[in-house]
Amino acid sequence: MASEKTYHALIPDKIFMGAAADVESMVKNEGIDVIVDLRGEATDCAYPAASAEWIQIPLADHAAMPQEKAFEQAIQAVIEAYHQNKKVAFHCGGGKGRTGTVAAGTLLALGLSDTLDEAEAKAKSIRNIIDIKPSQRESLHKLYPGK
């Protein structure tokens, strides 16, 4: 019997999100082409045997200062892979804060949500453990003013 998936599709069959522990199953089950790793603490891909391209964009989970440049890079990496028709997965350690922030930003950048609140609610409806922290929310407000 297959175990329950602990990762989620932000956009079905295209963009996936989860925790570091989910990377191997995302690669094996979904045929991921690009892995965007948001962990500043990582020294290697969470699934080193993956043939997928590994892009590390280090973000601190509990940063005192906003990290909008790094979030912007991460969101762009996800969107570029998506526009190149590649399957992309992004993750942090637990798949809550940094992952949630990139999920909401991706929905805004692709025009799939009109406001930050809507993007966060949509991301949480897909992955209910998402927990965007105040400094992460501030970064999204700076990246998407008026949203």
Q: For residue range 51-94, what is the model confidence (pLDDT) as tens digits?
A: 899 999 999 877 666 689 999 999 999 999 999 999 999 999 99
Report the distance separating Cα 91 and Cα 39, nearest Å.
8
Q: Which long-range contacts (CB under 8 A, 24 or more apart) does 126-130 make?
A: 126/8, 126/9, 126/10, 126/17, 127/8, 127/17, 127/18, 127/95, 127/99, 127/100, 127/103, 129/94, 129/95, 129/96, 130/95, 130/96, 130/97, 130/99, 130/100, 130/103
Residue at 101: amino acid letter: T
Domains of the chain: 9-143 (3.90.190.10)
pLDDT digits (tens, 9 = 90+) for 88-122: 999 999 999 999 999 999 999 999 999 999 999 99
